[in-house]
Chain A
Amino acid sequence: AQTVTQSQPEMSVQEAETVTLSCTYDTSESDYYLFWYKQPPSRQMILVIRQEAYKQQNATENRFSVNFQKAAKSFSLKISDSQLGDAAMYFCAYRSALQGAQKLVFGQGTRLTINP
């Protein structure tokens, strides 16, 4: 079974600085998807960014980018120019690309605090 590990329960960063959240995963599959979700205090789960394993290029969405290291099974999220609105729980998640595989497997989460 696949597992996802986020080893940083809490992180903090100064406003306008850059922060990197870590995520590692374990799988024997070669084709899969990886996600970062943001959960603000409203509890809403918001998709931040996703990466297809067969794509070598790291995904980028505005101030959010990932460092996808397939061989190391690592998928970190970099937030540049941190803003107060970035404060939230962040979850890394994995999904197999196999036909019929639909389940998301989540990491434990990292609580990000932005210091003004």
Chain B
Amino acid sequence: DAGITQSPRYKITETGRQVTLMCHQTWSHSYMFWYRQDLGHGLRLIYYSAAADITDKGEVPDGYVVSRSKTENFPLTLESATRSQTSVYFCASRNRDRGPGYTFGSGTRLTVV
């Protein structure tokens, strides 16, 4: 029972490079989310998806791109990384018919130098 898997766990990249963070869930949950965690801000929603091919912006979407061609995958791409995108990124999922619970991945710590 793998649940929800994020990769990589740690990533260092240079300013201006494109980087993709991966998220894979094994339950076929309808909803998937990307959050970033920063000290003093808690977790803020970047993008979310209600189903394959349906995505929507969250609170802090600028500089990020998402796609969801398959229900189980929800990659997050930083098109041109900036130092302000140094953060811990969490993927989460939930099933619309299974109550209010969420399942989180273990996070990716991204450092942009």
Contacts and interface: CB of A to CB of B under 8 A. Distances in A.
A14 B49 CA distance: 43
A9 B107 CA distance: 21
A104 B61 CA distance: 16
B22 interface: no
B43 A103 contact: no
A108 B48 contact: no
Contacts of B74: none
Chain A interface residue bracket vs B: 20 to 34
B106 interface: yes
B89 to A, nearest CB: 11
Interface stretch (A44-52, A58-66, A71-79): A44-52
Contacts of B109: 43
Contacts of B101: 47, 50
B42 A91 contact: yes
Nearest to B100: A33
Contact of B106 (A33, A42, A47, A52): A42
5 tightest Cβ-Cβ pairs between the two chains A and B = A45-B104, A106-B42, A106-B43, A33-B100, A43-B107
Interface of A: 4, 6, 9, 33, 35, 42-45, 47, 50, 52, 91, 95, 97, 100, 102-109
